[in-house]
Chains A and B, each alone.
Chain A
Amino acid sequence: MLKRRWSAKRLKEAAIEKCVYLSGITSIVLVALIFIFLAKEGFAIFRTVGFGDFLLGSSWYPISTPAKFGILPLMAGSLLVTLGATLIAVPIGIASAVYISEVASGKIKETLKSGIELLAAIPSVVLGFIGMMTLVPWVKSTFHIPTGLTAFSGAVMLAFMATPTIVSIAEDALNAVPRRYKEAALALGSTRWQAIWRVVLPAASSGIVAAVMLGIGRVIGETMAVMMITGNAARIPDSIFQPVRTLTATVAAEMGETVRGSDHYFALFAIGIVLFIITFFINLIADLAVHYKAK
């Protein structure tokens, strides 16, 4: 009797262990599935359009005849918006991470952290909407341009989305610096700022690199807000005050109108592959940066 119950228990234990193991490796399976399904639909475009023409073609006219599927203008759009957002978000993000982690204390620190968490939580469609209502008219009248739907507006709005990511990850990196580093600097007579600037920041640099990379990843992948405020003109811009169309916005805006199985449909999946690969490498670099110092 006792023996049988024991073996039933063992069986249960083994079954649960298998379940847990299977759930554990789901993430790997999912990443593989995402790539397979993007590739399955996306690679079909290369039967009609050459690989080089797709990546470097300078015109995106998916519904004219003959259709042109060159994503260079879309990549230029993404690059311009991302660059703009990064230039705004990185200094501000790192500065506030330093303030929250090293200067603020007690209630103020907790309040600021909560505020940043809430900013991260605002849905991108709401940020896009706010941008349409406030920023876009402001850009139009301030810079005297025909439309406020520009790469610049997109960059400003996306900077808001990137900062929470940068702040929270940079803050983790700063917190991970051993207290004794700072204490040693202070004991040698440096001011708090000197200790932060000369000791804490350099020690946290790899984590800060990771924070910047993940912030960039967030911006490149952002869809709704850029679709609503960058004007969606698929041509190579020559100034930041012109409408652009990003890779993500193209997929989101055009997928609804395509015929399933058409070249246009395949081309949008191919854009998905490009986005997947870009973000994959950004995350890889961020991960390597995090573990660089640990070894």
Chain B
Amino acid sequence: MIRNPYIKERIAFAVLFAATVIVVLPVIFIVFFIIQHGWHAISWEFLTQMPRKGMREGGIFPAIIGTLYLVLGTLLFALPLGVMSAIYLTEYAKDNWLTRLVRLAIINLAGVPSVVYGLFGLGIFVMFLKFGASILAGSLTLAIMVLPIIITTTREALDSVPQSFREVSLSLGASKWDTIRHAVLPHAMPGILTGMILAVSRAAGETAPILFTVAAFYLPKLPHSVFDQVMALPYHLYVISTQVPNIKLEVRYGTALILLMIVLTMNFVAIILRAHFRKKKKW
């Protein structure tokens, strides 16, 4: 048994450091591994051409476009709803049972498994509202999934705006909404933007919610309306790595690389944005 508390401390800190390395190192490993194996596959052709011969040749253009549409659709529904919901919680809600219920519901939404969102989307949008497997159904499903992310980040941003800003605006005769609109929201914008980027990155990377609501196995053309199916990058990666035999490894790694880059770049931007505005903040 070690008696000297300082040696004990050293050992403890070394163990803690080792644990942290075990957590962080895989990120670096995964990124480099995928870049190393995937960058050969990346070419202008790979990014801009339709897949050919049962996805064994050609590019992943429709999957990229599909993911883009899905992300835009998701934001269209989730951003206004999420921001308004956060405004309700920070600016209007009183501390009563209803507010507590809303909070519990948000926590619960954040914890619902992604595949359950897929089932829900299938039940309500695809079957009950008869949208079919479509961009509309997929976007709505993803929107509900990212709603908690937007609400939580927006709330944090609104909470960080000092109370005095509101008091000054109200004391000058501005109405409650004018105060929120002109004295609070502008200062919360960077935080809301960060939340938006995180939501986009989550929506772009998720597979399970779009499995039954929008994703097409192999569809080498672009959609014409919001009621069309599309291919999507994460589902495409799943398909070519488990469902279709004899696909060149390079193509799989290339697809994984594109998806990973999209998601990680967005998260990186969010991290930088947050750090930047935290430093700039004057209060």
Contact = CB atoms under 8 A, between A and B. Distances in A.
Interface stretch (B46-54, B57-65, B81-89, B162-170): B81-89
Contacts of B24: 96, 112, 115-116, 119
Contact of B98 (A25, A190, A269): A25
Nearest to B22: A92
A23 B102 contact: no
B105 A126 contact: no
Contacts of B113: 220-223, 248, 275-276, 279
B1 interface: no
B76 interface: no
B123 A160 contact: no
Nearest to A40: B123
Contacts of A20: 84, 87-88, 91-92
Interface in A265-295: 268-269, 272, 275-276, 279-280, 282-284, 286-287
Q: Which of A19, A112, A126 is packed against the most chain B CB atoms within 10 Å?
A: A126
A132 B85 contact: no
B8 interface: yes
Contacts, number: 261
A218 B175 CA distance: 43
Nearest to A88: B22
Contact of B16 (A24, A98, A132): A98
Nearest to A41: B123
A28 to B, nearest CB: 5
A121 B23 contact: no
B176 interface: yes
B20 A95 contact: yes
Interface in B109-133: 109-120, 122-124, 127-128
Interface residues of B, number: 87
Q: Which of B108, B109, B110, B211 is packed against the most chain A CB atoms within 10 Å?
A: B108
A203 B108 CA distance: 26
Interface string A110-137: 1010111111011111111110101000
Contacts of A80: none
Given A160-B26, A251-B119, A197 B12 contact: yes
Interface stretch (A9-17, A64-72, A176-184, A236-244): A9-17
A143 interface: no
Q: Which of A34, A38, A100 is packed against the most chain B CB atoms within 10 Å?
A: A34
Contacts of A276: 112-113, 116
A236 B248 CA distance: 35
Contact of A255 (B87, B110, B212): B212
A193 B235 CA distance: 47
B182 to A, nearest CB: 13
A217 to B, nearest CB: 5
Contacts of B109: 27, 30-31
A125 B85 CA distance: 31
B242 interface: yes
Q: How large is the interface on A (under 10, 10 to 19, 20 to 34, 35 or more residues)?
A: 35 or more
A167 interface: yes
Contacts of A19: 84
Interface string A214-232: 1001001111100010000
Contacts of B241: 128-129, 132, 228
Contact of A115 (B27, B148, B237): B27
Nearest to A29: B105
A99 interface: yes
A126 B259 contact: yes
Contacts of B20: 95-96, 99-100, 104, 112
Q: Sorted from nearest, which 6 A-B pairs have the closest CB atoms?
A: A221-B113, A24-B88, A123-B205, A23-B84, A95-B19, A193-B9
30 contacts: A12-B177, A20-B84, A20-B92, A23-B88, A27-B151, A34-B120, A92-B23, A118-B267, A123-B204, A123-B259, A125-B207, A126-B34, A126-B263, A127-B30, A130-B34, A132-B241, A192-B9, A217-B111, A221-B115, A222-B113, A228-B241, A255-B122, A260-B127, A269-B123, A272-B116, A279-B112, A280-B108, A280-B111, A283-B111, A287-B104
Given A30-B109, A95-B20, 16 more contacts: A13-B177, A27-B105, A30-B105, A33-B120, A99-B13, A118-B271, A122-B260, A122-B264, A126-B34, A167-B23, A252-B118, A268-B119, A276-B113, A279-B112, A282-B111, A283-B107
Interface of B: 5-6, 8-9, 12-13, 15-17, 19-20, 22-24, 26-28, 30, 33-34, 80-81, 84-85, 87-89, 91-93, 98, 101-102, 104-120, 122-124, 127-128, 144, 147-148, 151, 175-177, 201-202, 204-208, 211-212, 234-235, 237-238, 241-242, 252, 256, 259-260, 263-264, 267-268, 271, 275
